[in-house]
Amino acid sequence: MPAFNPINAMRRWNTAQWQTFALRAAIGLCVASLVPALQGPHNLAVMAQPLVHSPSFARKARDLGTFRWSSVTVEKGQTVSEIFERLGLSSKTLHQLLTNEAAKQSFRKIRDGDLIDFEINGYDQLRTVRFDKSDLEQVTLTLNNGEVSEQILTRQLEKRLQVASGDISSSLYADGKRAGIDASVVNQVANVFKYDIDFVEDLRKGDSFQVVFEQTFLEGKPYRQGHILAASFTNRGKKLSAYRYNHDGREEYFDADGRPLRKVLLRIPIEFARLSSTFGMRKHPVLGRMRAHKGVDYAARTGTPIMAAGDGRIELAGWKNGYGKTVII
């Protein structure tokens, strides 16, 4: 029997047999090329790396989930809803915050120029809102699964004693400011010595004052000036002293000998007004002729408090021709 010769056999194939052979050969080549890939996981990992393990893709994914702080200064006429819209936060988020009554009350304290801090991630999801309710209180609102919690941080004030002194060259207000005391402390100086000094008529250049007062500090910076604990005022060469003391539950001022500075009558019933007309003969402002002026006139802004010179009984409180609105004691 002659040996089998594949070449001669292939020569005798018809067209159908050749097509079958070509199809099987193609399938075999495909299988042969896939086997190494299936056996080598490193090659598959390299092919998938740009989609799964790309550093830039992973960084972007982390950024979207990371919460970061943004600060907004409230502009004039701007509403909270407008601020949320500007930051890309949904109205639903604002509604969730406002369902908390404490949060709603805190938002009402926000004013033009206030600074609000927002903690937001890359998906425009809000976690925290923080702002100052007042100089001494900071509010933090935290949103967690639709629930709102409020935390209030109270800043502590530090109290110190301060000493200021100065000479009168123009006015008590101007010279007090130059010495480092504000209007509230100047008013206290005037009130302390108002039974002995007429700060409209009695002041002279060269008069001097010294004040010991309370000064509060907020986070190391001067915040507010408080009560006067001691003071002295030299007027026309005469020195007056005052010391604050709690007497029968009331804070009063006494001199160096322990006598109260409060007297029966005030020297002047109004603070820092201008003396516009003195007692005695003067030219009448309406009639234009000389007449006796039986009083003293002070000019001040509308709404300036007027004090009674002493205790007494009210005889008239109303309108009096020639005087206008009048109180007679």
Please state, as a whole number, how many other Cβ atoms lie within 10 Å of the Cβ of residue 296: 15
| 151 within 8 A of 140, measured Cβ to Cβ | yes
DSSP 314: -
pLDDT band at 165 (very low <50, low <70, confident <90, very high): very high
Dihedral over Cα of 83, 89, 94, 97: its sign: negative
> Poorest-confidence range of 14-18, 20-24, 88-92, 127-131?
14-18
Give the Cβ contact number of residue 214 at 10 Å: 15
Q: What is the DSSP track for 62-98?
A: HHHH--EEEEEEPPTT--HHHHHHHTT--HHHHHHHH
Give 310's DSSP letter: S
Q: What's the mean pLDDT when you consider all of the chain?
A: 81
Cα 271 from Cα 58, distance rounded (Å) = 71
Give the residue with greater pLDDT, 92 vs 243.
Answer: 243
pTM: 0.56
CA-to-CA distance for 55 and 64, rounded, in angstroms?
A: 14
Cα–Cα dist 198/194, whole Å: 6
Rounded to the nearest 10 degrees, the angle between the axes of helix 183-192 and helix 172-179 is 120
Q: Identify whether the C-beta of residue 209 lies closer than 8 Å to the C-beta of residue 170.
A: no
What is the arithmetic mean of pLDDT over 229-239? 95
Spatial separation of the C-alpha atoms in residues 165 and 181, rounded to whole Å: 9
Tens digit of each residue's pLDDT (9 = 90 or more) over 115-138 = 999 999 888 889 999 988 888 988
139 contacts 155 by C-beta, under 8 angstroms = no
CA dist 295 and 309 (Å) reads 14
- CA-CA distance, 316 to 329, in Å (whole number)? 7
